[in-house]
C-alpha cells in the first residue's frame, strides 16, 4: 500500500550517506552495481532521482549484515535506513 506521501530530504540524505558507505568497500560497491544493474555513470547522473536513492537503501535492507554494518558505520539505527527506503518508495505498512 502506498501513501502518496512525498519523500523527504532527510531520506535522500540517508541514501547518499549509505552510498558513500557502500563505495568505501570495493567488493561491496561491485556487488551493489551487479545486483542493481546500475552503471557508474548512470549512478552518478541519477543521484537526485528517488528511484536511485531507494535502490541504494533497498540494497542494504536486502542483507541484514550489510544493513547493520552500514547503520553502525553511519551512526544510525537500522530501522532509520529502512524507514528512509520506505519513505522514498512510498511504502507504508499497517499491522
Do the beta carbons of residue 82 and residue 60 sit within 8 Å?
no
pLDDT at 3: 41
3 within a domain of the structure (yes/no):
no
**pLDDT for res 9:** 74
- Domains of the chain: total: 1
Host domain of residue 61: 9-86
Q: Is residue 75 part of a domain?
A: yes
pLDDT for res 81: 97
The residues, ordered by sequence, that sit 6+ positions from 79 with a Cβ below 8 Å of its Cβ are none
Residue 13 lies inside a defined structural domain of this protein = yes
In a domain, residue 28? The reply is: yes
List the one residue out of 20, 66, 63, 24 whose CA is nearest residue 43.
20
Q: Which residues contact 8 (CB under 8 A, 6 or more apart)?
A: 87
Cα separation, 23 vs 29, in Å, equals 5
Q: Is 1 within the bounds of a domain?
A: no
pLDDT tens for the 95 residues of the chain, in order: 334 445 567 999 999 999 999 999 999 999 999 999 999 999 999 999 999 999 999 999 999 999 999 999 999 999 999 999 999 998 766 54
Give the Cα separation of 6 and 87 in Å (integer): 8
Q: What pLDDT score was predicted for residue 91?
A: 77
Amino acid at each position: 500500500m502506498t501513501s502518496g506521501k512525498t519523500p523527504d530530504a532527510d531520506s535522500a540524505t540517508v541514501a547518499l550517506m549509505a552510498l558513500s558507505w557502500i563505495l568505501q568497500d570495493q567488493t561491496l560497491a561491485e556487488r551493489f552495481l551487479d545486483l542493481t544493474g546500475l552503471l557508474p555513470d548512470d549512478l552518478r547522473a541519477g543521484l537526485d532521482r528517488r528511484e536511485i536513492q531507494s535502490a541504494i537503501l533497498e540494497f542494504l535492507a536486502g542483507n541484514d549484515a550489510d544493513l547493520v554494518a552500514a547503520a553502525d558505520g553511519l551512526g544510525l539505527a537500522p530501522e532509520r535506513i529502512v524507514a528512509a527506503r520506505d519513505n522514498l518508495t512510498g511504502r507504508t505498512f499497517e499491522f
